[in-house]
Structure 1
Amino acid sequence: MNSASEPVSFAADALTLYGTAFASRVLLGTSRYPSLQSLADSIDAGRPGMVTVALRRQMNAQTAEAGFFDLLKARGVPLLPNTAGCQSVTEAVTTAHMAREIFETDWIKLELIGDDYTLQPDPIGLIEAAERLVKDGFKVLPYCTEDLVVGRRLLDVGCEALMPWGAPIGTGKGVVNPYGLRVLRERLPDVPLIVDAGLGVPSHACQVMEWGFDGVLLNTAVSQATHPPAMARAFAMAVEAGRDAYVAGPMAERDSAQASTPVVGMPFWHQDRH
């Protein structure tokens, strides 16, 4: 543990995925902003390490507005294409290959939805798709639940990081299964874990960072806020604060009160009474 006189350097504490260090532990989605200007201002305010773009959805919606990709390119933030909306292994793999060709990157956030209501990932298909994409040279970041066994299988097929949800996509509920998520962190201490989906307010992000998670991915919590740029900045500060607290080493939780001011002996009036 570093002392107060030995601050943690960026190089020593950067978010590192597949051997690449990123300038921020916040990843930011680009969907459902009220305008391109709001998106641009949110990226500037949140200073994310990567921004995600859904090839299938963006091509049909937001990219119809001229300047979307120019905006992302101008900000110089690394792109993380994703396979949002895919519901089969073949569909996800094909979309990933299309994204690599269009965006000229091997990075892919792998989403493979198994349930239309909860938008929960299909664990069986996810593992199969991840294995195929890793063999094809992709740097795969799989969107999964907090299931430890599924997480291990994804690592077994070559994934070097996991993106477990906090809650179903777009709910803003925060972490609905704290026990499961913390067990995942404890049992996979050396694996980069980025909490993706379900966070609603900055305190949710700060909490998971205090637990030792390596980053968060946000979209709806920012894009659907009343003032998205202000919320992006708030999340960035919360993530930084949570990481600093984790690195600093929180005090141990106790079940009983303990005076913070040290005392020597007991005052005479207490001795007389007791």
Structure 2
Amino acid sequence: MSNISSSDRPASPHPAAADDLVIAGKAFRSRFILGSGKFSLDLMRAVIENAGTEIVTLALRRVSVGGPGNILDHIPPGITLLPNTSGARTADEAIRIARLGRELTGSPFVKIEVVPDARYLLPDNGETVRAVEVLAREGFAVLPYMHPDLVAARAMREAGAAAIMPLAAPIGSNRGLTTREFIRILVEEIDLPIIVDAGIGRPSEACEAMEMGVAAIMANTAVATAGNVAVMARAFGAAVEAGRLAWRAGLGRRLDAGAEASSPLTGFLRD
């Protein structure tokens, strides 16, 4: 039984009565963003509901207004749509896709993806900055997908980005937090929501990223390739919430060497 009273416990370093994720002035309760690119339309609604997400990304190739197979018909009301510029290889292509996305969905949010590399699918940070600058001036809430680099992130912030979305590992790889130290730098230095995108493969990795202080997690492949997709969506939602709670509470200290008994109660034997 603990001998520490509630008054003796240190206050949370990150107290907040309402701990909403705020992007471009809009508040969200969930910090788990779901990609939709790999889900069948039949599964879409169940996955969204199990994940508890409030933001869903979508590629415009899956939008067929008035036609069959329109993904918008399978997304529950109240979900914020985050169209992406998947397929863009230059800033100009991303800008055109973003404008079309707003026209088709009515959403002011856009996830910028400028990916000229066909093998590793790594983003072009320089072209991404150019796209952010143009679209932010046009009133978009721009969330750029980027390779975690502090100089580029600062440029995106100055260009008007609403959040920064660094990759954890190559898209679709499920390799986990391979860029954790660079993401940690962005968390410390960039005063915008840092949303980890691409490469997160397990709920435990999502939790770890949230414990680092990132604002949110986006996942697609890790959920879509799971044995039970709906249950994995729920697991990711819970892991993101747990990681956020841990960050708000303040993680316990870590000893780099030696050990320390957690219950030093044997002193009376020598008294």
Which runs of no fewer than 5 residues in structure 1 stay unpaired?
Answer: 270-274
For 2:135 and 2:178, locate their aligned partners in 1 and report how far apart those are by CA, in whole Å: 30
Q: In the superposition, relative to structure 1, how do residues 66 and 24 fare at CA in structure 2: closer, same or farther (>3 Å)?
A: same
Q: Which residue of 1 aligns with 2:20?
A: 14
Task: Measure how far apart 1:268 and its partner are.
Answer: 3.2
User: Which residue, 30, 33, 57 being the options, matches 2:36?
Assistant: 30
Q: Which residue of 2 aligns with 1:261?
A: 263
Which TM-score applies when normalising by structure 1?
0.88
Contact 1:2 1:8 in 2 (8 A): no
Count of aligned residue pairs for this structure pair:
260
User: Which residue, 126, 130, 147 being the options, matches 2:132?
Assistant: 130
Q: In the superposition, relative to structure 1, how do residues 2 and 128 fare at CA in structure 2: closer, same or farther (>3 Å)?
A: farther
Q: In the superposition, relative to structure 1, how do residues 2 and 160 fare at CA in structure 2: closer, same or farther (>3 Å)?
A: farther
Matches within 5 A, 1:32-181: 32-33=38-39, 35-55=40-60, 57-59=61-63, 65-72=68-75, 74-181=76-183
Contact 1:24 1:49 in 2 (8 A): yes
Q: What is the SS of the residue equivalent to 1:70?
A: helix
Q: Deviations over 1:50-91 (max 9, x none)?
A: 001111x3258xx9753521111x342111111011101111
Q: What is the SS of the residue equivalent to 2:111?
A: strand
Q: In the superposition, relative to structure 1, how do residues 2 and 192 fare at CA in structure 2: closer, same or farther (>3 Å)?
A: farther
Aligned-residue Cα RMSD (Å) equals 2.3
More helix by share: 1
Q: Deviations over 1:212-265 (max 9, x none)?
A: 011001111111212111110000000000000000111111122111114485
Task: Measure how far apart 1:177 and its partner are.
Answer: 2.1
- Percent of aligned positions with the same letter in both sequences? 40
- 2:187 aligned with 1:185: yes
Which TM-score applies when normalising by structure 2?
0.89
Q: In the superposition, relative to structure 1, how do residues 64 and 217 fare at CA in structure 2: closer, same or farther (>3 Å)?
A: farther
